[in-house]
Structure 1
Amino acid sequence: MSKLAIFWFRRDLRLEDNAGLYHALKSGLPLQPIFIFDREILDKLEDKKDARVHFIHRVITELDAQLKALGSCLRVYYGSPSTIWPEILKEFDVAKVFTNHDYEPYALERDGLTRSLVEKAGASFHTFKDQVIFEKDEVVKDDCKPYTVFTPYSRRWKAALKPFFLKSYPTKKYFEAFHTAKPTKIPSLADMGFEPSEIDIPPTDWKAEVIKKYSEQRDFPAVPGTSRLGVHLRFGTISIRQLAREAGALNETYLNELIWRDFYHMILWHFPRVGKGLAFKPDYDQIQWLNDEAAFEKWCKGETGYPIVDAGMRELNATGYMHNRVRMIVASFLTKHLLIDWRWGEAYFAQKLLDFDLAANNGGWQWAAGSGCDAAPYFRVFNPQLQTQKFDPQLKYIRKWVPELDSFNYPRPIVQHELARKRCLETYAAVLKKD
């Protein structure tokens, strides 16, 4: 059995412009690509029709077909990486393992264990930056400390950007390095205890006209004014470099959204406590949340009596997507109007969002609650009615998701805005007297 290299697909499900795959193909060894359906993640998913699992399974099947056309195949496993990797290391004479960085707490623990297993077997473990443009301490202040405010970070990010950072990795030139392997069966959804989902996944192709008008249209949920590429960035079915290079050149506001992704990943790296359920600003962990379970249930179902909030939650529940402006409104409503711990909302979004990403999801929720870096001050409480007047004045978005709006069936508001705002300010101020 001759020595070979392994490439481990994770959040980078594509053959083109893939950093780790590029380096693996150039290693001088035959390359066997693999994917692991990780039970440490899958077993925690309550919805057995989870659209993300269905999407990943579909993409993995497509990747396998692409590799078979090249005379290779994708070896797909189902289990815990801690038990799968010893099997792989017995099955193949592995000299090197390649993969791309993942910055989340579980991923760091998993990769540390995998590295130990690989090195104990006499092989080497190599990881590369792929899902962001800048990572870790590549964009820091003059004193080498991390930024905690977005605007100066984005200025330094743009100043540091050189064409090299957006250049695609020419993987196609080295496809002949793929190992010729006997195809094996990919575990089915049913094998893993899942079922197909009816939720549609937006396509990977982005429309130039949408990007050009992004600055003017992005805040209006009734308008198809966003790229809907979040799920593809999350699972790496599109390259962040390509998107930043091509779409970012059309609209700086759109580029700023990609910079926010880097910013929140940088925060997660430098302040890992935010990924472990702790507030970025520790004082905010002392807030006395009401955590009314009945109110939370109404928020989840879109039955709060606040149309813009209810429309957003119903859109999320039906499609796995929610417009970004509406995400801010519903998050503010949960944390400020209902005084429910932002972690409850964060967990619900993690369960429902197709584009769920721990760094961005946590950053968004802590922004809304006031507890995060560069967050809205605690005394900023979105008024859902004013937000509606500003961003859905003709109620097109609301009527799409709340068809019973004008009937007696629509519920009365579960809280009154002014009373809820007063209660919120008093509750926050009791802890944050000088904030």
Structure 2
Amino acid sequence: MSSVQIVWLRRDLRLADQPAFHAAAQAGPVVPVYVLDDDRAGDHAYGGASRVWLHHSLDSLARSLGAHRSRIVLRRGDARQVLAALADQVGAACIHAMRHYEPWWKEAEDELRDALGDDCKLCLYDGNYLLPPGSVTTGSGSPYKIYTPFSKAMLDVMPPRDPLPEPGTIHSPDSWPDSADLQDWKLLPAKPDWAGGISDFWDFGEAAAHDRLDWWADEVADYDEGRNLPSQDITSRLSPHLHWGEISPAQVWHKLKDKRSDGWRTFAKELIWRDYAQNVIDQFPDYPRESYRDYDERKLWRNPDAGHLIDEDLEGWQMGMTGYPIVDAGMRQLWQTGWMHNRVRMIAASFLVKHLLIDWRYGEQWFWDCLVDADYGNNGVNWQWISGTGVDSNMFVRIMAPLTQSEKFNSADYIREYVPELADLSDDCIHDPPDEKRGDYPAKMIGHKEARERALEAYRAAK
């Protein structure tokens, strides 16, 4: 009998096009393992919405493994210690894992490699991105920092490798090591159960991801224009499936690559943006925590820790009570579903950092806790883009006008869905209701003109 092979699972919860599973299944009996290691990630341990998705995705993968007469072993604790001990217990010849680029996972991979004895090795594979971060470089051999030339270079070498099939057979070990019960991890909220909207909004797991991709293949042609219309929501909603590795970007690319539409070309660049974000954090591991550009941040930001009125502004934004309907609709959609329409994400994020002048990191942490697709690279890169502090970012002086954006992109029905107290207002009125028609809906925290002037003055002082 061949030696036992461990598959260390993280954000790669699928069987098809999963190179670690593919290699392990060919080498011997397989013990798939997921280790819940909250301490290692520090302030980027999984937030509430991510934990909901993780529960359902692990449950789905366990059922898929059950169809192969296999199972998933659940452990909790320091990943290095847990995996090294497990490898010794089962006599594993190899721990197979997909390579991850968050700094805590890179650290864990290095520590695990050092901790394993001579009889077991760590084998890492790429496959969560179109290409491994750092593999597409400038003419001088340096990694790209700016998205546009990075995207052009990526397109020159596309398509990615062909996807791997799901293993036909996954052999089991002679005996299974002990496993925690998923329910005992209490990833789902109970008192109160605030996750009902997430469960209603999403289907979870590898099969659901492919169902969504099949649907998207028929809709992607309309994406170039439709992606900006919240009321129609012509978006793929593949982001959480990609984030948790329920589907690979190579599978998505090959499904859509023969499309001949502006929608597919635009969507392809957004898949590449996902690779770009990983390239950024591979170069700058603390990017989601530290501004890239040098500003006097004490003059630029109003710190919620410095006064209760600023803290109330932050809470009003978090709860969708800013008085700007398009912003509030987005923030309430986020709270209810764990997701927000991509155009509205930009509007809501811009409002926090420019209208309210609150440090982008407060927004990054709120999105980290509330998004089911909260990704260390994407979240940090996107927040630094909107705040004008990033290596490649929107200029701070470009301040989005939420009322104009709301009307321009026909957001009336979207507002009615998520701000029901305004549902009876006409399309002409709902984007910026007059005081006498607001009812219990709050007044604006700050007028757009006043906010713009304050932001520009703060920017000049900070430079």
- Relative to the length of structure 1, the TM-score reads 0.90
Gaps of at least 5 residues in structure 1 are none
1:240 and 1:179, CA in 2 relative to 1: closer, same or farther beyond 3 A?
farther
Write out per-residue CA displacement over residues 108-151 of structure 1, whole angstroms, 9 at most, x where no aligned residue: 22222222222x36411111111101232211111112222222
Verify: 1:106 aligned to 2:112, yes or no.
no
Using the TM superposition, name which of 323-332 and 212-221 deviates more: 212-221
CA distance in 2: counterparts of 1:396 and 1:246, whole angstroms: 32
1:398 matched residue in structure 2? 415
Q: 2:366 aligns with which of 348, 351, 364?
A: 348
Write out per-residue CA displacement over residues 14-53 of structure 1, whole angstroms, 9 at most, x where no aligned residue: 1111122222223x333222111223279979999x3432
1:167 matched residue in structure 2? 162
1:257 matched residue in structure 2? 270
1:194 and 1:21, CA in 2 relative to 1: closer, same or farther beyond 3 A?
same
1:404 and 1:193, CA in 2 relative to 1: closer, same or farther beyond 3 A?
closer
CA distance in 1: counterparts of 2:19 and 2:46, whole angstroms: 33
1:193 and 1:30, CA in 2 relative to 1: closer, same or farther beyond 3 A?
closer
Instruction: Name the aligned partner's letter for residue 228 of structure 1.
Output: R
Shift of 1:195: 3.4
Equivalent residues of 1:342, 1:366 under 8 A apart: yes
Using the TM superposition, name which of 5-14 and 403-412 deviates more: 403-412
1:45 and 1:265, CA in 2 relative to 1: closer, same or farther beyond 3 A?
closer
- Mapping 1:30-429, distance limit 5 Å: 30-40=29-39, 50-118=48-116, 120=117, 122-162=119-159, 165-173=160-168, 175-179=169-173, 181-182=175-176, 186-192=180-186, 194-195=188-189, 197-198=195-196, 199-200=198-199, 201-202=202-203, 203-204=208-209, 205-206=211-212, 207=215, 208-250=217-259, 251-275=264-288, 277-283=289-295, 285=297, 287-291=299-303, 292-392=310-410, 395-405=412-422, 406-429=437-460
Instruction: Name the aligned partner's letter for residue 452 of structure 2.
Output: R
Percentage identity across paired residues of the two chains:
32
Shift of 1:63: 2.4
Shift of 1:352: 0.1
Using the TM superposition, name which of 59-68 and 395-404 deviates more: 59-68
1:215 and 1:191, CA in 2 relative to 1: closer, same or farther beyond 3 A?
closer
For 2:167, what is the secondary structure of its paired residue?
A: helix
Equivalent residues of 1:5, 1:24 under 8 A apart: yes
For 1:378, what is the secondary structure of its paired residue?
A: coil
For 1:272, what is the secondary structure of its paired residue?
A: coil
CA distance in 2: counterparts of 1:132 and 1:397, whole angstroms: 32
Instruction: Name the aligned partner's letter for residue 11 of structure 2.
Output: R
CA distance in 1: counterparts of 2:167 and 2:384, whole angstroms: 41
Shift of 1:77: 1.4
Write out per-residue CA displacement over residues 328-374 of structure 1, whole angstroms, 9 at most, x where no aligned residue: 00111100111000000000000000000010011110011001132
For 1:238, what is the secondary structure of its paired residue?
A: coil
CA distance in 2: counterparts of 1:57 and 1:181, whole angstroms: 25
CA distance in 1: counterparts of 2:281 and 2:253, whole angstroms: 21
1:133 and 1:77, CA in 2 relative to 1: closer, same or farther beyond 3 A?
same
CA distance in 1: counterparts of 2:133 and 2:398, whole angstroms: 31
Instruction: Name the aligned partner's letter for residue 241 of structure 1.
Output: A
Equivalent residues of 2:38, 2:45 under 8 A apart: no
Query: When the two structures are aligned, how many residues end up with a matched partner?
Result: 424
Shift of 1:411: 0.8
Gaps of at least 5 residues in structure 2 are 304-309, 423-436
Instruction: Name the aligned partner's letter for residue 321 of structure 1.
Output: W
RMSD: 2.4
1:193 and 1:379, CA in 2 relative to 1: closer, same or farther beyond 3 A?
closer
Write out per-residue CA displacement over residues 196-248 of structure 1, whole angstroms, 9 at most, x where no aligned residue: 63222244222123212111211111113011111110111112111111134
